[in-house]
Structure 1
Amino acid sequence: MFYWFLKFVALGPLLKVVFRPRAEGVENVPATGPAILASNHLSYADWLFMPLVIPRMVRFVAKAEYFTSPGIKGWLQKNFFSGTGNIPIDRTSGDAASGALVSAKRVLAEGELFGIYPEGTRSHDGRLYRGKTGIARLTLETGVPVIPVAVVGTDVVAPPGKKFGRITRPTVRFGKPLDFSRYAGMENDRFILRSITDEIMYEIMRLSQQEYVDMYASRAKAESKSESKSEPKKLAS
């Protein structure tokens, strides 16, 4: 109930009036049944605008710590994240990536939409980075189609490192569902997993028109930070 209250009463109408988000290809999102929404990730605002423009709830995984912190703050945090459709990563496997996969499979088994950012983290420079193969394993193990999604303009609304930038009109584009049933039973083949992931990232790139970099975003961020730290030393010398 809290999710729908925020979407249609407390927060959604305000976001629509202020930002007037555009949506393209909404017809590609099924009215019922499970699907994986694979999106680029420019800003923390992505998880607000992507679900806002479609009538169905989109579930995401969130760190388990958001649901287990003690005290009043922890209680508020837990209720907010659970109320907005987020589910904790299942840590029973002892591995965060495997735990996220378990949680995602549970959502899809219930016939819901699951949102995922294949890059694994936000882009620090607006470019699209290499996808992680967890999404390929998820679609093969569940048989659920993948809908590529491009969110454009959210990095202007909330740029990396800032809570708020400036008002612009974000666009959310939904591509046609991708069916990978031809690879059924091959979820342990790392070459197949990479091929599927690259196909998904290509469609996201086509929709978003971002420059693609064949490197993981986490590595690119680390290299960027390292370069920025060494720059003053170069200037000093």
Structure 2
Amino acid sequence: MDPERLIYPLTKYVLLGPALRVAFRPTVSGVEHVPRSGPVILAANHLAVCDSFVVPLVVPRQVFFLGKQEYFTRPGTLGRVQAAFFRGVGAISVDRSGGRAVVAAMDASAEVLRRGGAFAIHPEGTRSPDGRLYRGRTGVGRLALRTGAPVVPIGIIGTDRVQPRGQAIPKPGRVEIRFGAPLEFSGAERDREAVRYATDQVMQAIQKLSGQQYVDSYAPVQGQG
């Protein structure tokens, strides 16, 4: 068996899962909208760093997401442990520096879906600075059109309270995760209007689930998102 198939359930169900469930006491609705197999894009709002761990925790299948290359290249024993942890929770190493960063991220995401996997993305591109929902960047629309995978919108509520910006370790508190019905789109990846339309439809669905005020501009990038 692939060693990473062993690392994933060990990390999610034995190490990380119980601790997060006790700390966050997540309330989940609509998870039945996530297909048990086949490619799917999970598109969520982004309030805190822990969002990337909360969503995979409540989905009954492995979820992949992009992670900074630095998470996987730290030297020494601690670095190896850190790399194993991030692989275990489904992170994919991507070099986000340089001119090909966007292409590399898109290719890695599309490969997950080509293999029939579940891929999680935050269309805002960074954490919300003030709790409002900001305009979606078009990666989610482009990915949906490129792969034909359905998009399941997700509204996350409360993670900004348990992990405010600048706080490294979340504090105990209740969070809620709401899954919406899958959205399917057709069109060409190079069609800018089709890509923008798909992205806006996803953001509209996320807004209905999260109840956030919508801001029709991109969120300012402040540190790591």
Q: TM-score, normalised by structure 2?
A: 0.90
Counterpart of 2:49 (choices 44, 48, 52) is 44
Overall identity of the aligned pairs, in %: 50
AA aligned to 1:204 is: I
Structure 1 residues 110 and 122: CA distance shift in structure 2, 3 A: same
Deviations 1:168-212 (A, max 9, x none): 21110110000102x2xx211212211111111010001000011
Deviations 1:49-87 (A, max 9, x none): 111112111100112232233333432332222222111
**What residue ranges of structure 1 are gaps of 5+ in the alignment?**
223-237
CA distance in 1, matches of 2:177, 2:129: 19
Counterpart of 1:86 (choices 79, 82, 91) is 91
Larger Cα Rg: Structure 1 or Structure 2?
Answer: 1
Deviations 1:92-143 (A, max 9, x none): x952111111001111111110000001111111011111101111111101
Structure 1 residues 167 and 4: CA distance shift in structure 2, 3 A: same
Aligned to 1:58: 63
Q: What is the Cα deviation at residue 26 of structure 1?
A: 0.7
Aligned to 1:217: 219
User: Are positions 1:160 and 2:165 aligned together?
Assistant: yes
Counterpart of 2:200 (choices 193, 198, 201) is 198
Aligned to 1:102: 107
Give runs of ≥4 in structure 1 deviating > 6 Å: none
For these two proteins, the number of residue pairs brought into alignment is 218
Mapped contact 1:26–1:54 kept (Cα < 8 A): yes
Structure with greater helix share of residues: 1
CA distance in 2, matches of 1:168, 1:83: 24
Deviations 1:28-53 (A, max 9, x none): 00011110000000001111211111
Q: TM-score, normalised by structure 1?
A: 0.85
Q: What is the Cα deviation at residue 18 of structure 1?
A: 3.3
AA aligned to 1:6 is: T
What is the DSSP-based 3-state SS (H/G/I as helix, E as strand, rest coil) of the residue aligned with 1:217?
coil
CA distance in 2, matches of 1:18, 1:72: 28
AA aligned to 1:211 is: Q
CA distance in 2, matches of 1:41, 1:4: 25
CA distance in 1, matches of 2:172, 2:126: 23
Mapped contact 1:141–1:187 kept (Cα < 8 A): yes
CA distance in 2, matches of 1:8, 1:77: 18
Q: What is the Cα deviation at residue 153 of structure 1?
A: 0.5
CA distance in 2, matches of 1:54, 1:192: 29
**What residue ranges of structure 2 are gaps of 5+ in the alignment?**
1-5
Mapped contact 1:147–1:178 kept (Cα < 8 A): yes
